[in-house]
Amino acid sequence: GYYVLQEFKNKDDKTRPLIVFRAPQFYGASYYQCEAETCLANQYTYLGRVQDFSDGYILPWIAKGLRVLSLASKKTFLDKQVDPGVPLKIKAQGGSWDMNTNTSRSCGPVYAGFIPEAGHAYVVHYKVEGGQCYISIYDATDPDQLVKLQ
């Protein structure tokens, strides 16, 4: 996702804000969004599923094995450009597999919302800490200096 943010930073036309969706280490997360009228009807559009394979944290051959064992449709991040000034509501739900206990864990859904601004990039990160899950949103217009919005 970092390189996508760098490309956006160097673009001349930044009319439509960029959003990058991420998941925590060893977790997968499914993202949904709704805009304006569809939010009133609680109708969310499925965006896709992301999975952090922990590249850079574990041995490369283990990370590669995790990717192979997962469905090929899972990505390490999703990116989407949206209309500026339109309130955006995001829903995320995630889960992981504990190989030690051979059980799955899930958390969510959790919700967050914000109004993307023209010329800005954002990172939406589904996080799990202490058995609780939540969404953090960062202004990533400068990918080297993320600013937490919520």
Taking 70 as the pLDDT cut, the residues of the chain under it are: 24-27, 35-41, 52-75, 96-100, 102
Look up tokens 């889960």; give the residue. Answer: 95
pLDDT at 11: 84
State the Cα–Cα distance between residues 137 and 114, nearest whole angstrom. 8
Whether the CB-CB separation of 45 and 31 falls below 8 Å is answered with: no
pLDDT at 72: 41
pLDDT at 64: 57
H or E stretch at 62? helix 60-69
pLDDT at 55: 46
